[in-house]
Each structure stands twice: as C-alpha cells, then as structure tokens.
Amino acid sequence: MANLSSKGAGAETLLASPGASAPGGLGKSARGFLARTAERGFRSSLIFSVVLVFAVIVAMMFSLTMFSLPAIQHTGWSIFTGTNWDPANDQFGALPFIVGTILTSVLALIISFPFSLSIALFLGEYQRSGWLASLLTTAIELLAGIPSIIYGAFGLFVMVPLMQQWELTMVSSGVIPLGVGILTASILLAIMIIPYSASLAREVIRLTPQDLKEAAYAMGGSRFAVIRFVTLPYSFSGIFAGQLLAFGRALGETMAVAMVIGNQNIMPEGLFSAGSTIATVIANEYPEASGVHIAALTEIGLILFLITIVFGFAGRIIINRMGMRGTA
C-alpha cells in the first residue's frame, strides 16, 4: 500500500491552473468555457471540503473553550484537585471523575491485554487462514459492530447480577454488594476495546519479516521462542500503539459505563465501589444543567477531549512511523 504513494500526484498537479488540461481551452467557445468552469468548480470544492473539515476541528476547540469560560473563571485549577462536586452550591471539583475515568480505562486495558494479544498472535502467527481464523475474525468484527448501548443493556441485565452474586460472598470482608461499580465497568469496557487493540496488533504481527522468523526456526527455535525473541520485539511498538488507541477509546466511552458504574459523584474507594467517569457525568447532568454548572460540565468535556487527543496523537505517530495504516 505504502510503496504506491511515490507514484501519487503531488500538490502541484492538483493545484495547477484549471484550464491547463481542459480540452478546447484555446477557443472562446461556450464548450470550452463550461469545461473550464467545471474544472475550476471541482478543484475549489475539493479545497473547500478540506478547509471545512479543518475549520470544524478548530471551531470545536474554540467553542468548547469559550463555552466553559465561566467555569474556568469560577473554579480555576481546583477543578483538577477538588473532590467535591456539588452543583447546587456551585462547587465543581472533578477529581473523582478524573480518577474514575483513568481507573476504569487502565483496568480495562489490563484485563483486555492477555485477550487482545492472544487474538493478535492467533490470527497473525498461528492461524492466518482457515475456518477457525475466519470464525474468530467474524466474531471480532461483530463485537466491534455492536453499539455501546447494547453492551450497556447486557452489562446491566447480565453482568450486574453476576457481580452481585460474587460480591455477596465477600460481604464479610467489607464489600457492599452493589453489583454496579468500577470493576463491573472495567470488565465491560475490556470486552468493548479488545477488537480495536487486537486488530491493530494482528496487523503489526503479520508485518514481521518472514526471513527473520525462518532464521530463528533454522537455529532450532521453537514456535514460542520465535514469538518471544523475534515476533514480539519486532512488533512491540505497534502493539503499544494499539493499546494507546484502545485506551483513548475506553476514556471516552459513555453509555455502557453509565449503565453499570453506579453514577455516584464520589471518589471511588475500591474496585467494588460505585463511581463516575467524566463522560458519564456529562451524560447524566448535561440535559438539566444551566449556568456555571453547564460550563463546568463543558470544561470537563474539554479536558476529556484534550486527554484523548494526546493519546490518539501518540498512537498515530508510532503507527505512522512504522509505515502502516491502522484500521482501528
């Protein structure tokens, strides 16, 4: 894919003077005029679209910042450090949500990692084709296609009662059997992000040069040894990038988490404690908010936006440096 790009037309060709290649460009006939107009119109519409998409991104940042200004002035930096979120008294400390967001996402990443790496190795190394591979590929694609609200409903009706059963056995050690909570949300998130990190990791694992692997086999390496000493070191940065992108996705996931995390505006006290994330607080409070409250919600939205940009950016840079295009 990448080596074709050298043949691509540069910007000079695209932006060259419109009438240059139009037929009948010499005469002043109506036909020539029409052709030139169509050509010019098409070129301008291309440029217009690109500028529009770029402008939308810039305008988004601008609007978010402007709309959260009242809260920024009202709360200042304490939105990052305050633990008290009390809209009725204009108290906006978002630390519990920031902690909830990062905690659930990190846990989801840890839970999902053995699965996504196994799937990537299975499809990239062990079974590149065959019925088992296509079964697994289809399953992953279906998992990626299921809307998050469906994951939420599944979590609410199936996982929460199961978690409650498990937590009931631990009541003696101080666990409150809510069913909902940080761990339930993390497990659900883990299932949701596996398709993304697995598909990217599979692609990089497939890129491992065959001659390197053959050399390792020729020296008597077992399959495990080849994976351990050739495939994994070679594809490490790609796998890492996939994890970053999956992490970004987990940070912003709203509906599924909102349905199983318990939605308490408190600092999570443990894995079984109820909590909130930035996204779930916005989903729950934005429709009824006004004044400084809505500005504060917009501000934490802006914070979420910036965090996901940082992780997305880091992941993309690693992928682009590897010279491959991600599908996730």
Q: Assess 220 for contact with other proteins (CB under 8 A).
A: yes
Q: Tokens for 263?
A: 């939605």
Half-sphere exposure of 29 (CA within 13 A, CB side): 9
Binding part of the chain for other proteins, among 75-83, 103-111, 146-154, 167-175 by CB under 8 A, reads 146-154
Element (H, E) at 284: helix 278-285
Q: Identify the residue among 34, 69, 135, 171 touching other proteins (CB under 8 A).
A: 135
CA-CA-CA-CA torsion for 37, 42, 44, 50, nearest 10 degrees? 180
**Which of these, 146, 178, 186, 174, lies nearest to 162 by C-alpha position?**
178
> At closest approach, how far in Å is the CB of 114 from other proteins?
6
Any contact of residue 150 with other proteins (CB under 8 A)? yes
Q: Segment near other proteins (CB under 8 A), from 37-45, 80-88, 164-172, 209-217?
A: 37-45
Residue type, 269: E
- Which of 8, 26, 173, 210 binds other proteins (CB under 8 A)? It is 8
The yes or no reply on residue 17 touching other proteins (CB under 8 A) is no
**Residue range at the interface with other proteins (CB under 8 A); choices 18-26, 79-87, 174-182, 233-241:** 18-26
Q: Is 147 in the site for other proteins (CB under 8 A)?
A: yes
Q: Does 71 bind other proteins (CB under 8 A)?
A: no
User: Does residue 27 interact with other proteins by CB under 8 A?
Assistant: no
Query: Residue 48 is which amino acid?
Result: F
Looking only at residues 173 through 202 of this chain, which bind other proteins when binding is defined by CB under 8 A?
191, 194
User: Does 237 sit near other proteins (CB under 8 A)?
Assistant: no
* Nearest distance in Å: CB 168, other proteins: 21
Q: Does 232 interact with other proteins (rule: CB under 8 A)?
A: no
Cβ atoms 18, 36 nearer than 8 A: yes
Decide: 212 and 234 in contact? Cβ < 8 Å.
yes
Nearer to other proteins (CB atom), residue 161 or residue 270: 161
Nearest distance in Å: CB 304, other proteins: 6
The reply on whether position 301 binds other proteins by CB under 8 A is yes
Q: Binding other proteins by CB under 8 A: which of 108, 259, 261, 292?
A: 259
For other proteins, the closer of residues 109 and 245 by Cβ is: 245
Structure tokens of 317? Answer: 């840079």
2 CB-contact burial (10 Å; exposed 0-12 / middle 13-18 / buried 19+): exposed
Report helix, strand or coil for 203.
Answer: helix
Tell me whether residue 106 or residue 175 sits nearer to other proteins (CB atom): 106
Distances (CA, A) of 88 to 92, 138, 299, 322: 10, 49, 17, 51
How big is the site for other proteins, counted in residues (CB under 8 A)?
98
Interacting span for other proteins (CB under 8 A) from 87-95, 233-241, 268-276, 278-286: 278-286
What is the distance between the terminal CA atoms of the chain, rounded to a whole angstrom? 17
**Torsion over CA: 28, 31, 33, 36 (sign):** negative
Only one of the segments 81-89, 91-99, 204-212, 283-291 lies at the binding site for other proteins (rule: CB under 8 A); that segment is 283-291
Residue 95 interacting with other proteins (CB under 8 A): no
- Picking from 251, 294, 289, the residue whose alpha carbon sits closest to that of residue 69 is 294
Quote the least distance from Cβ 98 to other proteins, whole Å: 14
DSSP 262: B
Which of 139, 21, 129, 101 is closest to 267 using CA atoms?
101
